[in-house]
Structure 1
Amino acid sequence: MMSVSVRALLVRGMLAGLAAGVLALITAYLLGEPHVDSAIAFEEAHSHDHGGGGEELVSRTMQATGGLATGILVYGVALGGIAALAFCVALGRVGRFGPRATAALLALGAFTAVFLVPFVKYPANPPAVGDPDTLDQRTALFFLMIALSVLLVIGAVILGKRLAPRLGNWNATVAAGAALAVAIGLAYAFLPAGDNVPEGFPATLLWEFRLSALAVQLVLWTGFGLVFGELAERLVVPKAARERQPDAAVTPAA
Structure 2
Amino acid sequence: MDKLEGQVAVVTGGGRGIGRAIALALAGEGAAVVVSSRSKAELDWTVAEAKGLGVDGLAVEADATDRAAARQPVEAALERFGRIDIVVPNVGGVAGMHTCLDGGDEGFEATLLLNLTSAWWTIQAAMPTMRAQRYGRIITIGSTEALRANEGGPPGYVAAKHGLVGLTRQLAQDCGSSGITANCICPGWTNTAMVDFASTARHMGITEAEARAYATDRAALGCIMEPEDIAAMALLLVSPEGGRITGQALSVDGGYRL
Structure with max Cα Rg: 1
- TM normalised by structure 1 equals 0.24
Q: Which protein has the bigger helix share?
A: 1
Q: Which protein has the bigger strand share?
A: 2
